[in-house]
Structure 1
Amino acid sequence: MTTFDRLSALDAAFLDIETERAPMQVGWTMRFAGEAPGIEQLRSHVESRLESVPRLRRRIVEPAMGLGDPHWVDDQLFAIDRHVNVIHMVASDQQPALSAVAEELLSQPLDRSRPLWRLQLVTGLAEGGFAIIGQAHHALIDGLAALEIATIIFDGVATPNDEAAARWLPEEAPSTSEVLTAAALSRIGAGSDVATTLVRSIAGGPAALVEAVTALVALFTPGNRTALENSASPRRRVAFASLPLERMQGAAQRHGVTINDVLLASSGGAVSGALARRGEQPDGIRVLVPTTVRQPGESAASHGNRISVMVVELPLNANDPGSVLRTVGRRTKTLKRAGYAGTLDTAVRAADLLAPPVRSAAVRAAIGAAHFTLVISNVPGPSAPLELAGRELEGIWPAVPLIDGHALSIGAISHAGVLHVGCFADAALVPDLDLIAADIAATFDQLCEMAPPQQAPWQQRARQRRDARRVA
């Protein structure tokens, strides 16, 4: 029997919700120091590492009339030069910035008849160095897997295997009977997994389960729409910010929150300004914060999407970012304690039990009913410097895809002491994206310079007792 590589319900969901004006493609822009490698050198470099991520040579097959599940099959016509290409910039006073080049490339849809990824080498940048701009469909990978795939090209991350690349031959696609058999077996396994997860959730106590379900219901509670909850075009805008991780860690420690809370509060300040420019001043917005549900040792690049989300009510108060930060910290702590992300993951995995046409209809209905303003994602990256063929990586900025009906996303990746923030937007609706990125950095600076709030006497005594116990 040939290999049957089935898309999970979550993988397939990203195909279901894709529209012409909202392609579900994860993107990233990487900037390097030094002279660019030649295109043939880069192609050989990438191809020698594909053995570790088999899906990079596979395309999606969706059986007619829902007879079987969508699955990956080896692309019989796979060629590395269809996926790794080069753009040579011409030196001139009119040369576009790297962000403008990224906008053009990240606006181009991927071809579903081929493996769903590509890399573009960009040379001749006016400020020196070179860039690689990548895309992969969300059906192939989540944010963590995107980072793992993006980094396999770096020196010392994946072991190159030129011999394996040379002898690779595509497998034949599974037969209809094999597809139907695999679909039946997968539902038996999915049912067992869901039952086990439900038992664990109940064993965690009814209070935590009730909190998690209550938070999930909140996602579908109608609220006031903002100007950022709209779609107009598949054209995208890109803007970057880079925040020193040491300062971010210091601010988080002073205020008793996490790094992710600091990113959320900084983003809140920027979104508040963007809405004010559109004549809107809501007290808060609802944001989706992706969280990984991978188990320790589980390879991100080999298992598709393994994410859930937290639904966070993000207050908007540009005049008091410290208060926003502390409120966000309390709310995310409550959601984590309730195990909300795990509860949603169980619900998503239960969709694996549904026939593809029913699942697709349910996914589209759920997305249409969900109410949120934007996605804010933060993926922890490598702390050590990275190199590609001896050229140092200077920065990596993500592009989180926009769900139809939403005009802005914010993504971040940490690398070598810096949190790189990528803002991604519908070009027709968010012409002020550069201001949003600048406001994220400005709000971040405010939070870093802000003293922690004064504690009440009883809080000081409690802290002194905790410190004394630690010393003892």
Structure 2
Amino acid sequence: MSDRLTALDSSFLHMEDDSAHMHVASAMIFDGDPPSHEEFLESLERRLHLVPRYRQRLAYVPLAQARPRWVDDPHLNLGYHVRATALPSPGTEEQLRALAGRVFAQQLDRDKPLWEVWLVEGLEGGRFAVLSKTHHSLVDGISGVDILSVLFDTSAEPAAPADPGTPWLPQPLPSRAQLLGEALVERATMPAEAVRAVRAVFRTPRQIVGSLVGAAAGVGAMAWAGLSPAPTTPYNQPIGPHRRFTWVRTSLADMKAVKNELGGTVNDVVLATVAGALGRHLRRRGERTDGLELTAMVPVSVRSDDQRGDTGNQVTAIMAPLPVWCQEPVARFDVVREAMADLKEGGQALGAEVLTSLSGFAPPTVMGQASRLMSRQRFFNVVVTNVPGPQFPLFLMGREALDPFPMVPLAKNQGLGVAIISYNGHMNFGLVGDFDVMYDIDDLARDIYVSLAELADAAGVELTTQPPPVVRDEMARVV
């Protein structure tokens, strides 16, 4: 496990400030009575050796001569990271969403390991929840799912924890002189490392020869997408530190049935659904959508099978069009499907991967300035990320996980984020918004469902899930 942050991991530190918090998060609902805080803490402690990065914190290099390193935290206190709270009676999901919005709005302390887990008691229906937060510099969505499957069981009978071997003893913290000396040595080897990084993108010599033209075209496509500003929308405003969070339950089988009837992929169904929902939402706000095409940043995993379970980020992104102008569901789906096929054929994701690999060899001060500048530009309107989760039930100390709802971080001037996860036949949307920008986020949640229902109806598919409830009490929208 490398101790130096990659350029992509480090960029999330540079983009973070008091308003833009760069942690990914999730709310997961479980069936049954909750474990006690002490039992929960002990269960996580017994498995923490399986994810050693969660015992480490950042160490910064003097004079910013290199990206930060992960080092063991000699003052690790799991009681700080593993917290417990309870919902007030009656413990509705609406109350849980409000709590999640407050928890997700709190920035992680960079002087400690960059994660938190909250045990939430008192959810109606004999259920409880777990809220988790992990800094994006530590984990991406794909590896986050892997870590979750390590921390939880795959059967109702809890598995015996793996033998951790010798008791964990934190390594001594490196001195400032050590951090600086190691950084200077690494800087001296950068040219050779840059060559190896580019080769790694293509995997084999044959791929290098066969992909040079495609990579060049992909880099050009990615650069052009980045230079083309996204349209101005109510979603792209300066954001504050507070968040609203809500979710929508859908079915993976329903999504697959729609794509089987209309062609394309499940991700095409997701993007067409989001496009339709945003169009409805904008028109309800009185915005004109004639000819309006929004831009979604869609993260794409480049994590190979042998990298699953590793921490750190192995993702790139493509800029996908969202035709909110189109109110006919099948026509909207066709626009999305054709655009995504063109983007894949054009190699935009490969171009982004090459640029990401090469960015690791820019001076840290330059990368920091570039990351902060990029986060303030309007290259896209909304992040839409679709994470594949395990298609089998997970259990926490014998309690079955019923529904996970993911959250993506909001960058500067990005007031809305959409994350989707498939799990055990479910396909759940997590919507996060700036508290003021997305004052009507519950309306958008219903728009998501209505947009999918329109697609399903056009495809002759009957949805098996129910729409989100209408929030009638205006105070329920206020955290």
Normalising by structure 2, we get a TM-score of 0.88
- Asked if the contact 2:219/2:354 (under 8 Å) is kept, the reply is no
1:124-174 Cα offsets, whole Å, 9 max, x none, are 123331000000000101111222223322114997647528811101233
Correspondence for 2:430: 422
1:158-205 Cα offsets, whole Å, 9 max, x none, are 976475288111012332323433454466324321255478466236
**1:299 has 2:308 as partner:** yes
Gaps of 5+ in 1: 453-472
Q: d(CA) in 1 for partners of 2:208 and 2:378?
A: 24
Tell me the amino acid that sits aligned with residue 40 of structure 1.
E
- Asked if the contact 2:221/2:348 (under 8 Å) is kept, the reply is no
- Asked if the contact 1:4/1:179 (under 8 Å) is kept, the reply is no
- Asked if the contact 2:194/2:361 (under 8 Å) is kept, the reply is yes
Alpha-carbon distance change, 270 to 298 in structure 1, aligned in 2, over 3 angstroms: same
**1:242 has 2:249 as partner:** yes
Across the aligned residues of Structure 1 and Structure 2, the Cα RMSD in angstroms comes to 2.4
Q: d(CA) in 2 for partners of 1:196 and 1:138?
A: 23
Q: d(CA) in 1 for partners of 2:191 and 2:215?
A: 28
Correspondence for 2:467: none
Normalising by structure 1, we get a TM-score of 0.89
Q: How far apart are 1:363 and its partner, in Å? A: 2.2
1:187-242 Cα offsets, whole Å, 9 max, x none, are 63243212554784662363674255224312221343111111331110011101
Tell me the amino acid that sits aligned with residue 364 of structure 1.
R
Q: d(CA) in 2 for partners of 1:85 and 1:153?
A: 16
- Asked if the contact 1:312/1:332 (under 8 Å) is kept, the reply is yes
Tell me the amino acid that sits aligned with residue 180 of structure 1.
L
1:224-274 Cα offsets, whole Å, 9 max, x none, are 311111133111001110111111101101111110111111111111122
Correspondence for 2:118: 120
**1:406 has 2:409 as partner:** no
Correspondence for 1:129: 127
Q: d(CA) in 2 for partners of 1:159 and 1:12?
A: 36
Q: Could you tell me which of 176, 181, 184 is aligned with 1:180?
A: 184
Correspondence for 1:436: 444
- Asked if the contact 1:22/1:402 (under 8 Å) is kept, the reply is yes
Tell me the amino acid that sits aligned with residue 227 of structure 2.
F
Q: Could you tell me which of 100, 103, 106 is aligned with 1:102?
A: 100
Correspondence for 1:76: 74
1:21-40 aligned within 5 A:
21-40=19-38
Q: d(CA) in 1 for partners of 2:423 and 2:228?
A: 37
Q: d(CA) in 2 for partners of 1:187 and 1:233?
A: 41
1:197-216 aligned within 5 A:
197=201, 200=207, 203-204=210-211, 206=213, 209-210=216-217, 213-216=220-223
Q: How far apart are 1:313 and its partner, in Å? A: 1.3
Q: d(CA) in 2 for partners of 1:245 and 1:168?
A: 41
- Asked if the contact 2:222/2:352 (under 8 Å) is kept, the reply is no
1:204 counterpart SS class:
helix
1:250 counterpart SS class:
helix
Q: Could you tell me which of 243, 266, 287 is aligned with 2:273?
A: 266
Correspondence for 1:87: 85
Correspondence for 2:197: 193
Alpha-carbon distance change, 58 to 183 in structure 1, aligned in 2, over 3 angstroms: farther
Q: d(CA) in 2 for partners of 1:321 and 1:96?
A: 30
Alpha-carbon distance change, 327 to 40 in structure 1, aligned in 2, over 3 angstroms: same
Q: d(CA) in 1 for partners of 2:93 and 2:315?
A: 39
Q: How far apart are 1:345 and its partner, in Å? A: 1.1
User: Aligned pairs, how many?
Assistant: 449
Q: How far apart are 1:325 and its partner, in Å? A: 0.8
The farther-off stretch of 419-428 and 267-276 is 267-276
- Asked if the contact 1:45/1:160 (under 8 Å) is kept, the reply is no
The farther-off stretch of 209-218 and 73-82 is 209-218
The farther-off stretch of 98-107 and 110-119 is 98-107
1:280-306 Cα offsets, whole Å, 9 max, x none, are 223210110001011122124x24001
Gaps of 5+ in 2: 461-479
1:153-164 aligned within 5 A:
153-156=151-154, 161=161, 164=164
Tell me the amino acid that sits aligned with residue 204 of structure 1.
S
